[in-house]
Every structure is written in C-alpha cells, then in structure tokens.
Amino acid sequence: MPSAQPASVSVDKLIPEYQNFGRAHLADICENWVVYRNLEPVDKRLPGLKSSYYDMELRNELIPRKQDQDYAKVATWFLRQMQRLRGVKTPVSEVLFIGDTLFNDSQAYKNIRKYTNWQGSCFICSERVEQAPEYSVDDANVFTANRWSALADWVRWLRAEGLHLDERTAVIIDIDKTALGAKGRNDKGHRSGTAERHLPDDGCCAGRGI
C-alpha cells in the first residue's frame, strides 16, 4: 500500500484574502499633514527644516535620520505647529508611532518620548503569514506584531493601559512600507521596484488621534 505524502502548501496559499476598498490617499488619513524625508511639509502653512531649523533647536539645516536625537526635536516641533494650525488649544501630551522597523521607527518613537516626556506607544509590524499570529510589548511600550490586523489589538491595549486617545494624542505614521505598501502584506511593488516612481522614499504623516 503506497504511503501517503503530506501535501505541500506554498506561502501564497497561506495569505488571507483581504477586502479591497479601492484606491486611497494619504490625505484620507492625515489630510495635508504630511512631511517627507527632506523634512519639508506638504502644507505650505507649515515651515520646513530649511527655514525653521533654528526654531527646532538644531545647529544647522542638515537632515537628521530617524534614529538621531535631532529627529525627535524636528518631529516634536512639527507636531506642535500642526496642533496650533489646526486650532486645537489642548497641547500634545501623547504620541503614537506606527512603522515597520525596530531600528528606525521604534528608535524615533523612543527619542521623541525621551525629549518630550510624553506618554505613548509604538506599533511595529512586518507581516509573516508563514508564522502563527503573535505580538509582544516591551518596557518602552513598543508593540511588535507579525500581522497588520493586530493594529486593532494594539488600540485595545492602549485603552486598557489608560492612554486618552483624544485631542492631546498625536499619531505619526511612517509612509514607506507602512501607510503605503504595508511590509510583508502589500509591499511587492516596493520589492520589485515597480512603485519607485510613484511612492515617496520615506517620511511621515500625522493623524488627529484615534
């Protein structure tokens, strides 16, 4: 009697079917509160790095990288100016950061919290459908997951931890492989290079709380 062989299942077969809601824009999430890698905002009412580096407490107009301490100064300055331009009198005192890399995004979040003393949390994800869904949280409130759908679990955890998630809360969303082409889920265009002409290199957008 021939022995039964286990069926091989490709990773593509494991990828769940996600509902497609059609095309969207960063503005659907962040309006025009978008700042690209050169630290020049889309909204022209908001001055950029070149004209405001002194106000940002920087020594010069060289562009800091995300993991640099100076990036925290720039990000904090932008968030406070955005709050002012939106006409919100409540000062920002909570920060949420959503990204795909522990080295860049979580370090930027940690530096912002250290610089400001704000409360907050960071969500980091790289989807891995070949693994069972899981997440972990470290002492700095960095929530690491292998499913982007865990964003819902993150928000529930934030509420359980007592974060306010209101007008005092700033949300920073990485663009490349997070807002656009979520890493491990919708980033095939990034990996193949087909999206290079259409997507920004990097940057972040700021939301208005959850």
Mean local confidence (pLDDT), 65-89: 95
Could you say which DSSP state residue 141 is in? -
Q: Are 141 and 114 in contact (CB under 8 A)?
A: no
Mean local confidence (pLDDT), 83-98: 95
Mean local confidence (pLDDT), 5-34: 60
Q: Evaluate if residue 138 carries a pLDDT over 90.
A: yes
Q: Evaluate if residue 7 carries a pLDDT over 50.
A: no
Mean local confidence (pLDDT), 93-117: 95
Two tokens, residue 19: 């509902």
Encoded amino acid at 43, one letter: D
Q: Which has the minimum average pLDDT: 98-112, 125-139, 166-180? A: 166-180
Q: Which has the minimum average pLDDT: 5-9, 83-87, 109-113, 162-166? A: 5-9
Quote the pLDDT of residue 19. Answer: 56
Q: Are 135 and 146 in contact (CB under 8 A)?
A: yes
The residue among 38, 43, 39 whose CA lies nearest residue 76 is: 39
Q: Are 190 and 177 in contact (CB under 8 A)?
A: yes
Q: Are 100 and 124 in contact (CB under 8 A)?
A: yes
Q: Evaluate if residue 186 carries a pLDDT over 80.
A: no
Q: Evaluate if residue 210 carries a pLDDT over 90.
A: no
Quote the pLDDT of residue 175. Answer: 81
The distance in angstroms from the start CA to the end CA of the chain is 61
Quote the pLDDT of residue 46. Answer: 94
Q: Evaluate if residue 170 carries a pLDDT over 90.
A: yes
Cα separations (Å) of 15 from 28, 79, 129, 147, 150? 26, 36, 6, 11, 15
Quote the pLDDT of residue 22. Answer: 66
Quote the pLDDT of residue 44. Answer: 93
